[in-house]
Amino acid sequence: MKQAPSGSRALCTVSAALEAPQRVMCAGRAVVVWMVEGDRPAVIDDRCPHGNARLSDGYVLYGRIVCPLHMWTFGADGHAQAPGGRMEAAGPMPQAYESWISEDEVWARVDG
Ligand code: FES
């Protein structure tokens, strides 16, 4: 196995992330893990900047995670698309973390 970069951690299995978005506590943060495509994971903060909902309670549509409350969607870069706009009232966008697959697990470098 390749040496993992420092500060990186295994968050969940690929099969779990394919089944549903996964909430993982890591380095004092709550992050959500999902699969953008079959072999491409995404990891961002598990908090919607609109109303603080857990994005991990949402679902994945066309590779984006959908907030369960008002259907804002977020890409792997943490940027939002908001039906009806009004993004100026939102808090800071979720931070996105470098992620990759190694031996059927999703890994990410999440800062403490
Ligand atoms: S709380 Fe997420 S879209 Fe409103």
| Tokens coding 102 | 């190694």
Q: pLDDT per residue over 26-83, tens digit each? A: 989 999 999 998 789 999 999 999 999 999 999 999 999 999 999 999 999 999 998 8
- Which atom in ligand 1 lies closest to the alpha carbon of residue 55? 2
Candidate from 57, 65, 72, 87 with most ligand 1 atoms within 8 A of CB, to mutate: 72
Which pLDDT value is given to residue 16? 97
Q: How far is CA 11 from CA 50, 57, 59, in A?
A: 25, 17, 18
8 Å CB contact between 60 and 33: no
pLDDT band at 3 (very low <50, low <70, confident <90, very high): low
50 lines ligand 1 (CB under 6 A): yes
CA of 1 to the centre of ligand 1 (A): 40
8 Å CB contact between 20 and 70: no
What SS3 state is found at 87? Answer: helix
- What are the structural domains of the chain? 13-97 (2.102.10.10)
Which of 70, 75, 83, 73 minimizes the C-alpha distance to 41? 75
8 Å CB contact between 13 and 104: yes
Compute how many other C-beta atoms are within 10 angstroms of the C-beta atom of residue 45: 20
